[in-house]
Amino acid sequence: KKKKMNNMRSIKILIALLMAGSLSLSAQEKESMYFTARVEGTIETVEPMLRSELEKEKFAVITEIDMAKTLKEKIDADIMPYKILGVCNAKFAYKAMQAEENIGVFLPCKMILKQVDKDTVEVVSVNPVTMMKMIGNEDLDGTADEVGIKLEMVINRLADR
Residue 3 has pLDDT above 80, yes or no: no
- Segments of the chain assigned E as strands: 34-40, 60-66, 82-88, 109-117, 120-126
Asked if residue 48 has a cis previous peptide bond (ω within 30° of 0), the answer is no
Q: What percent of the chain has pLDDT over 90?
A: 69
* 104-124 average pLDDT score: 95
Phi, psi of 58, rounded to the nearest 5 degrees:
65, 30
User: What is the per-residue pLDDT for 88?
Assistant: 96
Residue type, 15: I
Q: How far is CA 143 from CA 21, 94, 100, 103, 146, in A?
A: 24, 10, 11, 12, 5
Residue 23 has pLDDT above 80, yes or no: no
Residue 16 has pLDDT above 70, yes or no: no
Residue 74 has pLDDT above 70, yes or no: yes
Compute the residue count for the chain: 161
Q: pLDDT band at residue 111, thresholds of 50, 70 and 90?
A: very high
Residue 27 has pLDDT above 50, yes or no: no
pLDDT, greater one: 11 or 39: 39
Angle between helices 90-99 and 141-159 (to 10 degrees): 150
